[in-house]
Chain A
Amino acid sequence: MSYFDRTKEQRSSAVISILATILRVALAILIPLIAFLVLYAGFLFLRAGNAPKWLITIVAILWGVGGVAVLYWIFNWIVEMFPEQWTIRLQPFVFVGPAMAILIWYLAWPAARTFYISLFDRDGPAAGNFVGLGNYVAVFTDRLMRQAFRNNIFFWILVATPLTVALGLLVAVLADRSRFERVSKSMIFMPMAISFVGASVIWNFIYEVKPVGASQIGLLNALVVGLGGQPQAWPAYTAIAPFNNLFLVIIVLWLQTGFAMVLFSAALKGIPEEIIEAARVDGATEVQVFFRIMIPYIMGTIITVTTTIVIFTLKIFDVVWVMTGGQFGSDVIATQFYRQSFIARNAGYGSAIAIVLLIAVIPVMVYNLRQFREQEAF
């Protein structure tokens, strides 16, 4: 091959890759755009009509699901009309492209915009008072924010997460050997079906306090008084601060143990019986079998569950907001963010907190994804 031919070929391959990129981006944007227009036209049409509600519902479902399916089908058909090489280059983007575009639109773009807002004062970019990283300095020096970090890191990550994992594992192992496996596991899994707000309302009743002397309707206080103690508003019991946070931790424990248990249970059932028998014959006690064979065998699952719960507890909001509203030293990063953004209406500061939370979650998320990849989940 001569020098000139090669450069010509290289040049043409550069042209092809640029053209391919343009077409791919076009597909990614065009498809959701058309989908949106088609759906919107359908919405206008149905709104103008006088048909009975049930008919509108059915047509809307058919229009929505069918319309998007037809759209994908048409674009796939168009791409397949291209020469084979171009079909190979473009076809994945007919399907993945729109999802990427939409994710960029409502996930990546808002994140970038939030960061931009965080560089301004309480009135945001519109007012034009640029403060640089001033908000971030405040995030790490504000007393309430420091309290929020303490709660998030100590009570939620270092206490709630290991407790949930340990409890889930314990229940999974014990249930595995129990005759009441199904019943007990269903009971423990049940709270997963309840929303965090709903769970908080339930626990509000458990922690409910009445004045001394009145009969206690809260389960915990009824027990405490029955045993001769003083009734307390437990999550607001500042005499033991900051350990009143533990009453909130218990709620999340109740909610999340079932999640951990189900995953551990599946992992434990995946351990071949012969390996455990081999360890027994090799001289291991049941405790040694558990710690030296079973735990290492399911380590991948343990890490996945732990990181998932860490991510969840970093973002914890609902339970704290409903139970205490962040008072009595129970503030966390997310409640601070909410208070600053939507109650104090401090756009810049609130955005800065959101960005800090995002940055805190990212390393755990990356580790989690890497773990999934190792387990060949994708």
Chain B
Amino acid sequence: MASVTYDQVTKRFGDVVAVNNLNLGIQDKEFLVLVGPSGCGKSTALRCLAGLEEISEGQILIGDRVVNDVPPKDRDIAMVFQSYALYPHMSVYDNMAFGLKLRRTPKAEINQRVQEAAKILGIEMLLDRKPKQLSGGQRQRVALGRAIVREPAVFLFDEPLSNLDAKLRVQTRAEITKLHQRLGTTFIYVTHDQVEAMTMADRIAVIRDGILQQSDTPQNLYDYPANVFVAGFIGSPSMNFFDATITGTADEMYIDTGTFRIKVSDSIKARLTDGLGRRVIFGIRPEDIFHPGYVSAGINAVKVESTVDVTELMGNEIFLYLMAGDHSYIARVDPRGHAHTGDKIEMVFNADNIQLFDADAENQPSMLKLG
């Protein structure tokens, strides 16, 4: 059991800065997911914590101990790799027992811990097999088992589900969440898949180009993204963005995209930090745009004249790709809201559930205070 602290950690590979001045505290027993696009430095951050990479600046603490110069074997961590990294010449049992044997754990205890972990993961009948004889999902479990038996202070996961097929991924996702509840240990999990991040994390840290963008609970990240990047990265399909200007008067403000205008509602105005005349990026999620025939009750409806470009039927919903003037956007609408390419529809935007970002500031941060 331990907390983890990244204190101004920087990692350089030659001229490339992989992790840039990362400050991040992870509490004991927390499930933190590091998420970001490929090559953003999230894996490097994890490998620095594991001791597989030396950090260039700053310090990393596990509990109260600075581990900068502690080799991986003495950090009391366990890691699950994307490729599982099982030892091919050892049986499943020996794979799981390897770390304990190196620590001279008594044989009886090794046996008990391996059996217990195997039972949790449902791989008791595979203990005598070699990794070669296992399916991808089974290998994944063995890799998890190898980490569990060590009873480490911190579990590290480096994209552990990437090599599984879609169905197995969803299933294993739930199992890892259950495992976290059962073990009550600190989990740090790296993924590029925002769905994994949203579904599993207590807290998500979004990283881009080695820089931490925002770290918060999944719901807060979704509702109050700190900048355009986070807003666009979290959620599927992504949030729609429109270049716009704030016009009107202090009492009656409008977001003007050039093609359509949306009146700034009172609730948004109350949170707005800056005002008139500013160039902004106006964001709205696809599920906050409705087909005129199937509008949810109690929303602040604003009509926007649009043309249907493409429709994608998902069964439980329809994705409409629409054009409003020069702006293209996606709406996620009720499946009964039939539409065909070329149809002109007055789509309904929920003006209470929008985001505004400062178009002129670096990183395009949100202009809305937390609600």
Contact = CB atoms under 8 A, between A and B. Distances in A.
Interface of A: 272, 274-275, 277-285, 288, 292-293, 296-297, 299
A272 B81 CA distance: 12
A272 to B, nearest CB: 7
A293 B52 CA distance: 17
Given A274-B81, A274-B83, A288-B102, A281 B73 contact: yes
A43 B82 CA distance: 64
B146 A282 contact: yes
B192 to A, nearest CB: 17
B73 A285 contact: yes
Interface SS of chain A: helix
A281 B83 contact: no
Interface residues of B, number: 24
Interface of B: 50-52, 71-73, 77-79, 81-83, 85-90, 98-99, 102-103, 146, 150
Contacts of B83: 272, 274
A293 B87 contact: yes
B92 to A, nearest CB: 14
8 contacts: A274-B81, A275-B85, A275-B86, A280-B51, A280-B73, A284-B102, A285-B73, A288-B102
B73 A282 contact: yes
Interface SS of chain B: loop
Nearest to A299: B89
Contacts of B72: 277, 280-281
Nearest to B83: A274
B99 A282 contact: yes
Nearest to B102: A283
Contact of B98 (A272, A277, A279): A279
Contacts of A275: 85-88
Given A274-B83, A288-B102, A282 B52 contact: no
A294 to B, nearest CB: 10
Contact of B81 (A277, A283, A288, A299): A277
Complex A-B, nearest 9 residue pairs according to Cβ-Cβ distance, in ascending order: A282-B99, A274-B85, A278-B85, A296-B89, A283-B73, A283-B102, A280-B72, A281-B79, A274-B81
A293 to B, nearest CB: 6
Residue in A274, A293, A297 whose Cβ sees the most chain B Cβ within 10 Å? A274
B85 A297 contact: no
Contacts of A299: 89
A288 B72 CA distance: 14
B79 A278 contact: yes
A285 B102 CA distance: 9
Nearest to A285: B73
B87 A284 contact: no
Given A293-B87, A296-B89, A282 B81 contact: no
A272 B72 CA distance: 18
A374 to B, nearest CB: 13
B159 to A, nearest CB: 11
A277 B156 CA distance: 13
Nearest to A280: B72
